[in-house]
Amino acid sequence: MKDGGIINQLVDVRDMLCTQALAMAAQAMERLNAGEALQILYNAADVKHDLLIWASDRGYEAQEEGTEQLWIVRSIVNRKSSIDTPHGQRAES
């Protein structure tokens, strides 16, 4: 990270579909403690877009570094997670 952060986990989602990339990122983030960073390598604009929205929705800090590289930091304060219901509504958990 530009601010001198430490990589706690690296995930390479290059050549993956959006759903695969999001699943990999989510699994990696579950293993991190608050304040730790996930570095994600990607090579598709739609994957980057979805990862940034996913991170924002969960209250994670996300920043781009160079080309095809994102950093996502697990937040210190956990926000409520929302789950999609079958009818497209959002349910708080």
pLDDT in tens, 17-38: 999 999 999 999 999 998 899 9
The better pLDDT of the pair 85, 51 is held by 51
Alpha helices in 13-44, H assignment, sequence order:
18-30
Percentage of the residues of the chain whose pLDDT score is greater than 90? 65
State how far the Cα of 72 lies from the Cα of 39, in Å rounded to an integer. Answer: 7
What is the reported pTM?
A: 0.74
Nearest to 51 by CA among 1, 13, 80: 13
What is the DSSP secondary structure assignment for residue 78, as one 8-state letter?
Answer: P
- Band of the pLDDT at 12, cuts 50, 70, 90? very high
**What domains lie within the chain, and their CATH numbers?**
7-77 (3.30.110.40)
Q: Sign of the CA dihedral 16, 9, 29, 41? A: negative
State how far the Cα of 5 lies from the Cα of 63, in Å rounded to an integer. Answer: 12
On the question of pLDDT at 93 being above 70, the answer is: no
